[in-house]
C-alpha cells in the first residue's frame, strides 16, 4: 500500500478496550465492569421500544425534536441548545471534529476518560495530559497547561474511573480563565448520580465557552441503545449540527430515550439505590483493608497495595464469575474499578475481596 497513508494522528490511537462481559467456562457472571445500571432500563423505555418496532421501516426523526423537548422539559433547559448523538461519545467527537485539528491542543486530565485522547488523535490534534492531585482534577494544573493552541478542555465531573468530582466554584474559575479560543467541556456522564447537581447546565447558560455532555448509557440503563446529548451555546450547537449525520439516532433509540427521561420516578429510585449500595460497598471494602476515594458516581475505585495485588484480585474475582475493571490504562495499575451492582452483587464482590485479602481463596 505504498503511498496510501491514513490522516496524521490516527495510528497513534490505542484501540479502546471495553469492560469484559464473559469468562470462559463460567456461567451466570456478575458484570461490574462497565458502569451499567444493574436494574436495567425503565419499564416505560422497554414498552416504548416494543411499540417503536412497528416503525422500523420508517426513517427516524432528523431533528430529534421530541427527545430534545423531553430533555428540555425534565431538566428545565432550552430545547434549541440541545444536540443528540450516538452516545455522548459522538457529541464529544463532534466537538473535536469541529474545533480541533493538526497543530491544536486538547487538554484532558491524568486519569480522565480514555475517549478524550483518542478523539483528539482522530482529528490530528495533540492531546495534552495534565496531572491530577491525588486522583482529583486540579484547575491550577489545567490553567498552567493552557496556551494559544488550546482548543478544548475536557473534564468528566464526576470523573471515570476515579469517581471524584470538583465543585462548581472551581469549574467557574476554570471557565473564566481558559484562553478565549478554548471551550470547556463538562462531561456529565455520571451527573445524574449526584443529588442536586445540574451537570453545569446553568454555567452553560451563563457563558459562551462552556459545553455540557450527558448520556442515557448509565443511570437510564440504555447503554446498548447509544443515546447521548450535549447542551451548549446556540452558536456551538449550530456548528455541531452541520457535521451531525441527519439520521444518526434510530427510531427505536429515540423512543427508548424519550420514555426513559420522562420516567423520573425510575431515575429517582436508581439514584437512591446507587447511593445506598455505593456507601455500603465502600465501607465493606474498607473493612477488608481496601480503601477508595469518596465516589460520586455508580462505581468505586478500589485501591490495592500494588499492581500485582490488584491483578491477582482481578484474576481471583474472574474465577468466581465476577467481572470488574482493571484501570492500568488510566495510570491506576494498583486499582480496580467496581460498578455498584444490585445488593446481591455488591455483597458477593465484597465477600470475595474479603476472602482474597484474608488469603483464604
- Nearest-CA neighbor of 190 among 230, 168, 220? 220
**Separation CA 176–CA 265 (nearest Å):** 36
Q: Which stretch binds ligand PLP (CB under 6 A): 84-92, 175-183, 196-204, 327-335?
A: 84-92
Q: In the complex, which residue's CB is closest to ligand PLP?
A: 87
Residue 156 within binding range of ligand PLP, rule CB under 6 A: yes
Residue 274 within binding range of ligand PLP, rule CB under 6 A: no
Q: Which is nearer to ligand PLP, 95 or 352 (CB)?
A: 95
Please, how many CA atoms are within 13 Å of residue 9, restricted to the half-sphere of its CB? 19
Q: Which of 94, 113, 197, 304 binds ligand PLP (CB under 6 A)?
A: 113
Question: How many positions of this chain bind ligand PLP (CB under 6 A)?
Answer: 13
> Cα dihedral angle (69, 75, 77, 80), rounded to 10 degrees?
-30
Residue 301 within binding range of ligand PLP, rule CB under 6 A: no
Residue 298 within binding range of ligand PLP, rule CB under 6 A: no
Distance from the first to the final alpha carbon of the chain: 52
State the minimum distance, in angstroms, from the CB of residue 262 to ligand PLP: 19
User: Helices 343-358 and 264-287 sit at what angle, rounded to 10 degrees?
Assistant: 10
State the minimum distance, in angstroms, from the CB of residue 92 to ligand PLP: 7
CA distances from 333 to 15, 111, 232, 355 (A): 18, 11, 35, 21
Cβ-based neighbours of 252, under 8 Å, separated by 6 or more = 49, 52, 53, 56, 225
Q: Which is nearer to ligand PLP, 88 or 295 (CB)?
A: 88
Compute the C-alpha angle 74/156/325, nearest 5°: 110
Cβ-based neighbours of 15, under 8 Å, separated by 6 or more = none
Q: Which stretch binds ligand PLP (CB under 6 A): 87-95, 194-202, 242-250, 300-308?
A: 87-95
Mark residues 7-46: x for contact with ligand PLP by CB under 6 A, - for none: ----------------------------x-----------
Q: Which is nearer to ligand PLP, 49 or 352 (CB)?
A: 49
State the minimum distance, in angstroms, from the CB of residue 307 to ligand PLP: 22
Residue 152 within binding range of ligand PLP, rule CB under 6 A: no
- Nearest-CA neighbor of 111 among 327, 300, 340? 327
Residue 295 within binding range of ligand PLP, rule CB under 6 A: no
Q: Which of 33, 37, 88, 250 binds ligand PLP (CB under 6 A)?
A: 88
**Paired strand residues for 339:** 299
Residue 296 within binding range of ligand PLP, rule CB under 6 A: no
Q: Which is nearer to ligand PLP, 204 or 352 (CB)?
A: 204
Residues 187-246 that bind ligand PLP (CB under 6 A): 187, 189, 215, 217, 223, 228
Answer yes or no: are the C-beta atoms of 41 and 222 closer than 8 Å: yes
Q: Which stretch binds ligand PLP (CB under 6 A): 86-94, 287-295, 324-332, 339-347?
A: 86-94
CB environment 140-154: b (16+ within 10 A), e (fewer): eebbebbeebbbbbb
- What are the residues binding ligand PLP (CB under 6 A)? 35, 87-89, 113, 156, 160, 187, 189, 215, 217, 223, 228
Amino acid at each position: 500500500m505504498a503511498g496510501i497513508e491514513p490522516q496524521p494522528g490516527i495510528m497513534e490511537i490505542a484501540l479502546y478496550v471495553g469492560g469484559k462481559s464473559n469468562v470462559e467456562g463460567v456461567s451466570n457472571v456478575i458484570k461490574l465492569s462497565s458502569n451499567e445500571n444493574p436494574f436495567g432500563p425503565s419499564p416505560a423505555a422497554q414498552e416504548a421500544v416494543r411499540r417503536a418496532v412497528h416503525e422500523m421501516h420508517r426513517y427516524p426523526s432528523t431533528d430529534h425534536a421530541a427527545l430534545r423537548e423531553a430533555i428540555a422539559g425534565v431538566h428545565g433547559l432550552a430545547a434549541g441548545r440541545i444536540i443528540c448523538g450516538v452516545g455522548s461519545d459522538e457529541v464529544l467527537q463532534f466537538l473535536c471534529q469541529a474545533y480541533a485539528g493538526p497543530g491544536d491542543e486538547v487538554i484532558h486530565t491524568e486519569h480522565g476518560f480514555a475517549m478524550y485522547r483518542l478523539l483528539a488523535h482522530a482529528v490530528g490534534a495533540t492531546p495534552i495530559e495534565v496531572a491530577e492531585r491525588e486522583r482529583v482534577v486540579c484547575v491550577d494544573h489545567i490553567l498552567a497547561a493552557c496556551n494559544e493552541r488550546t482548543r478544548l478542555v475536557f473534564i468528566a465531573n464526576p470523573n471515570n474511573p476515579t469517581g471524584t468530582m470538583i465543585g462548581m466554584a472551581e469549574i467557574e474559575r476554570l471557565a473564566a480563565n481558559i484562553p478565549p479560543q478554548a471551550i470547556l467541556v463538562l462531561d456529565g456522564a455520571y451527573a445524574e448520580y449526584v443529588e442536586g447537581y445540574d451537570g453545569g447546565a446553568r454555567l452553560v447558560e451563563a457563558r459562551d465557552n462552556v459545553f455540557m455532555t450527558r448520556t442515557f448509557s448509565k443511570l437510564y440503563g440504555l447503554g446498548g441503545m447509544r443515546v447521548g446529548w450535549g447542551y451548549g451555546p446556540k452558536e456551538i450547537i449550530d456548528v455541531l449540527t452541520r457535521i451531525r449525520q441527519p439520521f444518526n439516532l434510530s427510531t427505536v433509540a429515540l423512543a427508548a430515550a424519550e420514555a426513559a427521561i420522562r420516567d423520573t420516578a425510575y431515575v429517582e429510585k436508581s439514584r437512591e439505590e446507587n447511593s445506598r449500595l455505593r456507601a455500603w460497598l465502600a465501607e465493606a471494602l474498607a473493612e477488608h483493608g481496601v480503601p477508595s476515594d469518596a465516589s460520586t458516581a455508580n462505581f468505586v475505585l478500589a485501591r490495592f497495595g500494588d499492581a500485582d495485588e490488584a491483578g491477582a484480585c482481578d484474576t481471583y474475582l474472574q474465577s468466581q464469575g465476577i467481572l470488574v475493571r482493571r484501570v492500568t490504562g488510566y495510570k491506576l495499575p494498583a486499582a480496580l474499578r467496581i460498578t455498584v451492582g444490585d445488593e446481591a452483587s455488591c455483597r458477593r464482590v465484597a465477600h470475595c475481596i474479603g476472602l482474597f485479602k484474608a488469603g483464604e481463596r
